[in-house]
Copies of this chain bind each other. A is one copy, B any other.
Amino acid sequence: MWSVISCFQLVCIPSIKLYSQQIPSQQLKEEEQINTQSVNTFVYRTHTCGELTINDINKNVQLCGWLQFKRMEAFIVLRDSYGVTQCIIYKQKLDLLKKLLSLPYESVLKITGIVMPRPKHKCNPNLKTGDVEVKIESYEIFNLAMSKLPFNISNFNEAKEFLQMQYRYLALRYPKLQNNLKIRSWVTMKMREYLINQCGFIDVVTPILFRKTPGGAQEFVVPTKQLGRFYSLTQSPQQFKQLLMVGGIDRYFQIAQCYRDEGSRNDRQPEFTQLDIEMSFVDQENIINLTEKLIENSWPKFLEPLQIPFERLSYEEALEIYGTDCPDLRIPGRIYNISKMIGKDLNKPYEVYVTVFPQKKQFLTKSVQEQFINLSTQIFKNATLIQLGISDLKLEILKDLFSKSSREKITNFFNLKKNDVLLLTYGLKAEARQLLGKIRVDFTNVIESAGEAIRSCVFKFVWIFDFPLFAINNKTKVMEISHHPFTQPHPDDLKYLCTDPLKVRGLQYDLVINGSEIGGGSIRIHQKDLQKEILKMLNIDSSEMFYLLEALDSGAPPHGGIAIGLDRYISIICKASSIREVIAFPKTIDGCDLMSGAPTLISEADKKLYHIETVDNNTVTKVAVV
């Protein structure tokens, strides 16, 4: 009984906690409708390690794979990308047996043998190959593995992420990573099929080596053999896709690599992948509809079903109802602005927001409350949080803030009961609702960490639209663009552009899944004068983008598009805990490749070739003076 069950567990659910939400590879394959024969073309094997069943009894087969297990001095388990197969070597073949059993785990073999039924009581109904085993006739050793690998693939204890990144070629053998990469490939292919075969899009490759985009994210620079001249690595194909529209390429898409040298975040890499779409002669509604159909057509069927159209919220609605422009609609309920309800109790310009978690008092422990207060006071200077695990219904604790009548209104409106949790914020509107939005998500996480489900176990998509075109940067107090300077202002608000720009909405739309922004786009400015005006308002030197302005003056069609962050989107589909689980060779959050040690020092010859010297920031001036 040992082998069958345990080997299945190791392959398909090596760590129950981490893998429980993983999609078994078999399920994926059925979705893909891959004829399993297809992967046995142009290759040494006759079958994969994941396909033999009782229908193959007595067949002569050749399997290639990794030595995953050996036990009871007779069995080995061979693993490849498609599954595992138990192989048995009979005692008569003593020489073969001895040698085979002496091989290190993870050595690479070709097994030639005959498919046999397993004894009934040793079958594993959970494993596709669980009813059979291969009687080994002969085998070939392709390659030995070193005897002690940094970590064991068939280990219940998954290696630490650091080790997995250092020995990525080993970590890739985990079924989890294998599955994630397969899902990624499958989903992106379905996207391509929809865009090209259904909608007539053209897949166009655009350059990475280009010139700096003024006013955007920090871009990597690349020195050239031309003294003092550098390329920048494009942060997105934004300008190219607009130029393609001017060039009459009606419907463009690309799965593009993008480069940004930005601060560390768990869901960002210095290089990332983006599904990039642009169309001519479209409005916001067109792009939203296309995107929904695209996602519907590339949605894996083994996931919870998808409903289109997705919900929609204006930016203002999202903030007023959820306190964030990335709402997680899986969390039931909302926040309420009760400022009107409580009338004159609070001084203007303060506003009051409330949300209630029925019967969750037990989770609002003292340490949780402290944690929330810390967060509240650290980040939100102009809003105050009150947390109330309700013991009686008199809300005496609020008496310094509200009159008795207001307190009763609150109790009635929310139909408060003992053991409910009431969370309330007051202060400047922007901060009060944002603070409550954040605490609401955090408290949901607290409850779920303690084992009680709050979120419905589905994917919730929502479009956010009607963003303000401009925003004031909190630190610099300077007016900035919210999306990017190519976003078309809402036609109804053009009249405010000069007089009251903060009132102007942009034709911009973000797609949010489960509280994560995974895509966004806009209708672009297609008229030169307006584009010039916007750049001027943002103090961006328009001469840096002379070619784009000239292009807009050369017959530019109305156009718009969207970009989906594929790493993040796929990681949500795969229910992965980080984008690094859906990237074959990820970097750390400070941009290092732990496997190779990149970035590294370079040679003097390279520096000379590119006319650069490395200088410590402090010595720059000194050298220049000398």
Contact = CB atoms under 8 A, between A and B. Distances in A.
A228 B614 contact: yes
B612 A613 contact: yes
26 contacts: A38-B200, A66-B248, A80-B248, A106-B555, A142-B526, A168-B247, A169-B547, A177-B247, A181-B204, A206-B584, A206-B585, A207-B585, A208-B208, A211-B593, A211-B598, A212-B600, A220-B222, A221-B602, A222-B599, A226-B599, A227-B614, A230-B602, A232-B598, A243-B585, A243-B595, A611-B616
Contacts of A149: 554-555
A212 to B, nearest CB: 7
Contacts of A601: 228-230
A606 interface: yes
A240 B44 contact: no
Interface string A529-560: 00000000000000000010011111111100
A279 interface: yes
A484 to B, nearest CB: 17
Interface in A62-86: 64, 66-67, 79-82
B247 A169 contact: yes
Nearest to A188: B203
Interface string A28-58: 0000001000110111110010000000000
A280 interface: yes
Given A244-B172, A623-B626, A207 B557 contact: no
A248 B81 contact: yes
Interface residues of A, number: 141
A202 interface: yes
Contacts of A550: 167
A453 interface: no
A42 B229 contact: no
Given A229-B601, A527-B143, A601-B229, A223 B224 contact: no
Interface in A261-275: 261, 270-271, 273
A178 B614 contact: no
A581 B196 CA distance: 22
A578 B223 CA distance: 27
A280 B108 CA distance: 11
Given A81-B248, A203-B188, A248-B173, A609 B218 contact: yes
Contact of A207 (B80, B227, B593, B609): B593
A116 interface: no
Nearest to A599: B229
B178 A185 contact: no
A362 interface: no
A240 B527 contact: no
Nearest to A40: B200
Nearest to A566: B205
Contacts of A616: 227, 611
